[in-house]
Amino acid sequence: MSGAIVLRDLLGIARFPVRAVVGVVATTGVSAIIALGLREGAGAQLVTATAAIVLYFAVGVWCEGLRFFGATIGGSSPYGISPTTQVGLHLVAPLLISVPLAAIAAAAASEGCVFPALKGTLPISLLMPVPSPIGDLSVVNAALWLADAVTIMALIGGGLTISVTVANGAVGASLALAVLSVLMGWWAQVRLGRLARP
């Protein structure tokens, strides 16, 4: 059953070859920009943060299986597999494609795709009116809720650049990425537990 889930995700990607090619080109190019941004000085944080956002969208091309799982998750699984295991299986396809193309940067973006996939539907409470002198601000709450993954990727890109500058080398970036990966994994597990609750 595990292999069937991975194969289904790969077949889903193959159904849209143009989108897959665009994802490959974007991932490769943006990863090169991130690598250059980590070595440059002035303005490197802005370049790397912007490139990390684009990389998130590029890797997202291969995360449709994960998004579908997040949209249809319930209290019990028809496959007899735990929700955590299913998330891991749905990450196999994007990692198989992105890691050879962009190594660490794309792998981080694949993990970043977990957040929007597992946050569920927009809470009704965020659509409640928020009166202010300039009008209803409830749309700001909804926009912030929708943009959390993009914000996280921008922070990762900028944070990696700062860590390289401060530590003066790739060791700082690797350490920062390891810490970020652990924190992102913990946060994703919290979201998954909330969604999978019967």
SS percent in the chain: helix, strand, coil, step 5: 80, 0, 20
List of residues 6+ apart from 187 with CB closer than 8 A: 115
Among 90, 121, 110, smallest CA distance to 194 is for 121
Q: Assess contact for 84 and 189: CB atoms under 8 A.
A: yes
Give the rounded distance of the alpha carbon of 21 from its chain centre. Answer: 19
Residue 91 pLDDT class (50, 70, 90 cuts)? confident
Kindly report the average pLDDT of the chain as a whole number.
74
Q: Looking at residue 84, what is its pLDDT?
A: 82
**Nearest-CA neighbor of 108 among 184, 40, 164?**
184
Least confident residue range of 52-61, 103-112, 133-142? 103-112
Largest CA distance in the chain: 56
| Residue 157 Cα distances to 23, 52, 62, 140, 173, angstroms | 19, 5, 20, 24, 10
Reported as a single tens digit per residue, the pLDDT across 51-88 is: 778 878 888 888 888 888 888 776 666 667 888 888 88
Query: Per-residue pLDDT averaged across 141-152, rounded?
Result: 78
CB 167 within 8 A of CB 160: no
